[in-house]
Amino acid sequence: MRKEILKNAFIKSIPIMFSYLFVSMAYGIMMEEAGFKWYYSLFISMTVYTGAFQFLLITFLSSGASILTIALMAFLMNSRQVFYSLTFVDEFREMGKKMLYMIHTMTDETYAVNLTLDSKGKEKEDTMFLIALLSRCYWMIGAVTGGILGQVIPFDLKGIDFCMTALFIIIFIDQWEKADNHLPALAGLAVALICLITIGERSFILPSLLIISGMLLVVRKRRSGE
Protein backbone atom coordinates (compact mmCIF):
# COMPACT_ATOMS: atom_id res chain seq x y z
CA MET A 1 0.00 0.00 0.00
CA ARG A 2 2.83 2.39 0.87
CA LYS A 3 4.52 1.66 -2.46
CA GLU A 4 1.28 2.39 -4.31
CA ILE A 5 0.88 5.71 -2.49
CA LEU A 6 4.49 6.66 -3.27
CA LYS A 7 4.03 5.67 -6.90
CA ASN A 8 0.83 7.69 -7.19
CA ALA A 9 2.43 10.72 -5.49
CA PHE A 10 5.39 10.57 -7.87
CA ILE A 11 3.15 10.33 -10.93
CA LYS A 12 1.06 13.25 -9.72
CA SER A 13 4.21 15.29 -9.05
CA ILE A 14 5.72 14.78 -12.52
CA PRO A 15 4.34 18.10 -13.91
CA ILE A 16 5.81 19.87 -10.86
CA MET A 17 9.12 18.06 -11.35
CA PHE A 18 9.59 19.29 -14.91
CA SER A 19 8.62 22.87 -14.09
CA TYR A 20 10.60 23.04 -10.83
CA LEU A 21 13.78 21.49 -12.19
CA PHE A 22 14.11 23.90 -15.10
CA VAL A 23 13.04 27.02 -13.19
CA SER A 24 15.17 26.22 -10.12
CA MET A 25 18.14 25.55 -12.39
CA ALA A 26 17.65 29.03 -13.81
CA TYR A 27 17.53 30.33 -10.24
CA GLY A 28 20.77 28.54 -9.36
CA ILE A 29 22.47 29.91 -12.47
CA MET A 30 21.33 33.45 -11.69
CA MET A 31 22.58 33.09 -8.11
CA GLU A 32 25.96 32.01 -9.46
CA GLU A 33 26.04 34.97 -11.84
CA ALA A 34 25.29 37.26 -8.88
CA GLY A 35 28.29 35.86 -7.03
CA PHE A 36 26.57 33.33 -4.75
CA LYS A 37 27.81 29.73 -4.86
CA TRP A 38 25.60 26.67 -5.14
CA TYR A 39 25.48 26.12 -1.37
CA TYR A 40 23.83 29.54 -0.95
CA SER A 41 21.15 28.44 -3.41
CA LEU A 42 20.66 25.24 -1.42
CA PHE A 43 20.46 27.02 1.94
CA ILE A 44 17.96 29.60 0.69
CA SER A 45 15.86 26.88 -0.97
CA MET A 46 15.75 25.00 2.33
CA THR A 47 14.59 28.03 4.31
CA VAL A 48 12.75 30.26 1.79
CA TYR A 49 10.44 28.02 -0.21
CA THR A 50 8.81 30.37 -2.70
CA GLY A 51 10.17 30.39 -6.23
CA ALA A 52 9.08 33.83 -7.41
CA PHE A 53 10.43 35.56 -4.32
CA GLN A 54 13.71 33.64 -4.47
CA PHE A 55 14.39 35.23 -7.85
CA LEU A 56 13.60 38.66 -6.38
CA LEU A 57 15.77 37.85 -3.38
CA ILE A 58 18.81 37.73 -5.66
CA THR A 59 18.36 41.45 -6.33
CA PHE A 60 17.80 42.19 -2.65
CA LEU A 61 20.93 40.31 -1.60
CA SER A 62 23.02 41.96 -4.30
CA SER A 63 21.80 45.46 -3.42
CA GLY A 64 22.05 45.07 0.36
CA ALA A 65 18.34 45.63 1.04
CA SER A 66 17.18 45.78 4.68
CA ILE A 67 15.61 42.82 6.46
CA LEU A 68 12.36 44.80 6.88
CA THR A 69 12.13 45.44 3.14
CA ILE A 70 12.77 41.78 2.35
CA ALA A 71 10.23 40.55 4.93
CA LEU A 72 7.52 42.97 3.77
CA MET A 73 7.98 42.09 0.11
CA ALA A 74 7.94 38.37 0.92
CA PHE A 75 4.64 38.78 2.76
CA LEU A 76 3.02 40.78 -0.03
CA MET A 77 4.19 38.45 -2.79
CA ASN A 78 3.05 35.27 -1.03
CA SER A 79 -0.06 36.43 0.82
CA ARG A 80 -2.19 34.58 -1.74
CA GLN A 81 -1.03 31.27 -0.26
CA VAL A 82 -2.96 32.03 2.93
CA PHE A 83 -6.09 31.18 0.98
CA TYR A 84 -4.73 27.85 -0.27
CA SER A 85 -4.68 26.24 3.16
CA LEU A 86 -8.39 26.96 3.65
CA THR A 87 -9.14 24.29 1.04
CA PHE A 88 -7.25 21.58 2.92
CA VAL A 89 -7.67 22.77 6.51
CA ASP A 90 -9.47 19.56 7.56
CA GLU A 91 -6.83 17.29 6.01
CA PHE A 92 -3.99 19.30 7.56
CA ARG A 93 -5.53 19.06 11.03
CA GLU A 94 -5.70 15.29 10.73
CA MET A 95 -2.00 15.08 9.81
CA GLY A 96 -0.75 15.96 13.29
CA LYS A 97 2.94 16.86 13.36
CA LYS A 98 3.05 17.01 9.57
CA MET A 99 0.65 19.98 9.57
CA LEU A 100 3.35 22.65 9.95
CA TYR A 101 5.39 21.11 7.15
CA MET A 102 2.36 21.04 4.86
CA ILE A 103 1.65 24.70 5.57
CA HIS A 104 5.27 25.65 4.91
CA THR A 105 5.47 23.72 1.63
CA MET A 106 2.09 24.75 0.19
CA THR A 107 2.86 26.38 -3.15
CA ASP A 108 0.83 27.28 -6.22
CA GLU A 109 1.88 24.04 -7.87
CA THR A 110 1.32 21.63 -4.96
CA TYR A 111 -2.05 23.26 -4.29
CA ALA A 112 -3.13 22.82 -7.89
CA VAL A 113 -1.99 19.19 -8.03
CA ASN A 114 -3.60 18.37 -4.66
CA LEU A 115 -6.92 19.52 -6.09
CA THR A 116 -6.71 16.70 -8.65
CA LEU A 117 -6.40 13.92 -6.03
CA ASP A 118 -9.25 11.41 -6.01
CA SER A 119 -8.19 9.48 -2.90
CA LYS A 120 -9.72 10.05 0.54
CA GLY A 121 -8.72 9.95 4.19
CA LYS A 122 -5.29 8.72 5.24
CA GLU A 123 -4.32 7.79 1.69
CA LYS A 124 -4.96 11.35 0.48
CA GLU A 125 -3.05 12.84 3.42
CA ASP A 126 -0.01 10.62 2.76
CA THR A 127 -0.15 11.41 -0.94
CA MET A 128 -0.25 15.17 -0.29
CA PHE A 129 2.70 14.89 2.10
CA LEU A 130 4.78 12.94 -0.42
CA ILE A 131 3.92 15.38 -3.20
CA ALA A 132 5.08 18.26 -0.99
CA LEU A 133 8.28 16.40 -0.06
CA LEU A 134 9.10 15.37 -3.63
CA SER A 135 8.39 18.86 -4.96
CA ARG A 136 10.74 20.45 -2.49
CA CYS A 137 13.45 17.95 -3.40
CA TYR A 138 12.97 18.77 -7.09
CA TRP A 139 13.48 22.47 -6.39
CA MET A 140 16.59 21.96 -4.26
CA ILE A 141 18.14 19.54 -6.76
CA GLY A 142 17.53 21.98 -9.60
CA ALA A 143 18.91 24.94 -7.64
CA VAL A 144 22.12 23.10 -6.76
CA THR A 145 22.50 21.76 -10.32
CA GLY A 146 22.01 25.23 -11.76
CA GLY A 147 24.56 26.70 -9.38
CA ILE A 148 27.15 24.10 -10.39
CA LEU A 149 26.44 24.33 -14.12
CA GLY A 150 26.47 28.11 -13.94
CA GLN A 151 30.15 27.95 -13.03
CA VAL A 152 31.19 26.18 -16.23
CA ILE A 153 28.46 26.53 -18.88
CA PRO A 154 26.89 29.77 -20.17
CA PHE A 155 23.09 29.63 -20.54
CA ASP A 156 20.52 31.79 -22.31
CA LEU A 157 17.63 31.83 -19.80
CA LYS A 158 15.21 33.87 -21.88
CA GLY A 159 11.68 32.42 -21.70
CA ILE A 160 12.49 29.55 -19.33
CA ASP A 161 10.04 30.84 -16.70
CA PHE A 162 7.12 30.19 -19.10
CA CYS A 163 7.12 26.51 -18.07
CA MET A 164 5.41 27.57 -14.81
CA THR A 165 2.66 29.33 -16.78
CA ALA A 166 2.27 26.28 -18.99
CA LEU A 167 1.86 24.08 -15.89
CA PHE A 168 -1.05 26.19 -14.60
CA ILE A 169 -2.75 26.25 -17.99
CA ILE A 170 -2.62 22.46 -18.21
CA ILE A 171 -3.93 22.03 -14.66
CA PHE A 172 -6.73 24.54 -15.31
CA ILE A 173 -7.80 22.64 -18.44
CA ASP A 174 -7.73 19.35 -16.51
CA GLN A 175 -9.89 20.81 -13.73
CA TRP A 176 -12.28 22.31 -16.27
CA GLU A 177 -12.80 18.94 -17.96
CA LYS A 178 -13.41 17.16 -14.64
CA ALA A 179 -15.74 19.75 -13.08
CA ASP A 180 -19.51 19.59 -13.50
CA ASN A 181 -19.96 23.23 -12.53
CA HIS A 182 -17.81 25.79 -14.37
CA LEU A 183 -19.23 28.81 -12.56
CA PRO A 184 -16.35 29.12 -10.01
CA ALA A 185 -13.75 29.02 -12.78
CA LEU A 186 -15.60 31.58 -14.89
CA ALA A 187 -16.12 33.83 -11.86
CA GLY A 188 -12.43 33.59 -11.02
CA LEU A 189 -11.41 34.50 -14.55
CA ALA A 190 -13.83 37.43 -14.68
CA VAL A 191 -12.81 38.87 -11.29
CA ALA A 192 -9.10 38.44 -12.03
CA LEU A 193 -9.49 40.17 -15.39
CA ILE A 194 -11.43 43.08 -13.91
CA CYS A 195 -8.89 43.53 -11.10
CA LEU A 196 -6.02 43.31 -13.59
CA ILE A 197 -7.52 46.09 -15.71
CA THR A 198 -8.55 48.35 -12.82
CA ILE A 199 -5.73 47.79 -10.31
CA GLY A 200 -2.80 46.78 -12.49
CA GLU A 201 -0.58 43.73 -12.84
CA ARG A 202 1.56 44.52 -9.81
CA SER A 203 -1.25 44.49 -7.23
CA PHE A 204 -4.25 42.61 -8.63
CA ILE A 205 -3.63 39.12 -7.18
CA LEU A 206 -4.53 39.69 -3.51
CA PRO A 207 -7.72 41.73 -4.20
CA SER A 208 -8.79 39.13 -6.74
CA LEU A 209 -8.39 36.32 -4.22
CA LEU A 210 -10.29 38.25 -1.55
CA ILE A 211 -13.21 38.95 -3.88
CA ILE A 212 -13.36 35.44 -5.32
CA SER A 213 -13.12 33.81 -1.87
CA GLY A 214 -15.88 36.09 -0.58
CA MET A 215 -18.12 35.24 -3.53
CA LEU A 216 -17.60 31.50 -3.14
CA LEU A 217 -18.21 31.65 0.62
CA VAL A 218 -21.50 33.50 0.06
CA VAL A 219 -22.61 30.95 -2.54
CA ARG A 220 -21.65 28.06 -0.28
CA LYS A 221 -23.50 29.56 2.68
CA ARG A 222 -26.65 30.06 0.63
CA ARG A 223 -26.53 26.51 -0.70
CA SER A 224 -26.02 25.06 2.78
CA GLY A 225 -29.00 27.07 4.01
CA GLU A 226 -31.32 25.69 1.34
Assess whether 184 and 154 both reside in one domain: no
For 35-46, b where at least 16 C-beta lie within 10 A, e where not — what string? ebebebbbebbe
Q: Looking at the structure, do residues 127 and 187 belong to the same domain, yes or no?
A: no
Query: Which residue did the predictor score with more confidence, 171 or 110?
Result: 110
Which of 26-30, 49-53, 156-160, 173-177 shows the lowest mean pLDDT across its residues?
A: 156-160
Q: Please state the pTM of the whole predicted model.
A: 0.69
CA proximity to 135, closest of 7, 12, 4: 12
Percent of the chain with pLDDT over 90: 12
Residues 145 and 199 in one domain: no
Tell me, yes or no, whether 171 lies in a domain: no
Comparing CA positions, the residue from 142, 133, 68 lying closest to residue 107 is 133
DSSP code per residue over 146-204: HHHHTTT-----TTTTHHHHHHHHHHHHHHHHH-S--HHHHHHHHHHHHHHHHH-TTT-
The answer to whether residue 192 is domain-embedded is yes
Q: Give the domain-ending residue among 159, 193, 210.
A: 159
What pLDDT, on a 0 to 100 scale, did the predictor assign at position 164?
59
Residue 170 located in a structural domain: no
Express each pLDDT in 130-185 by its tens digit: 999 999 999 999 999 988 887 777 666 666 656 656 766 776 787 677 777 788 78
State which residues form the domain around 60: 2-159
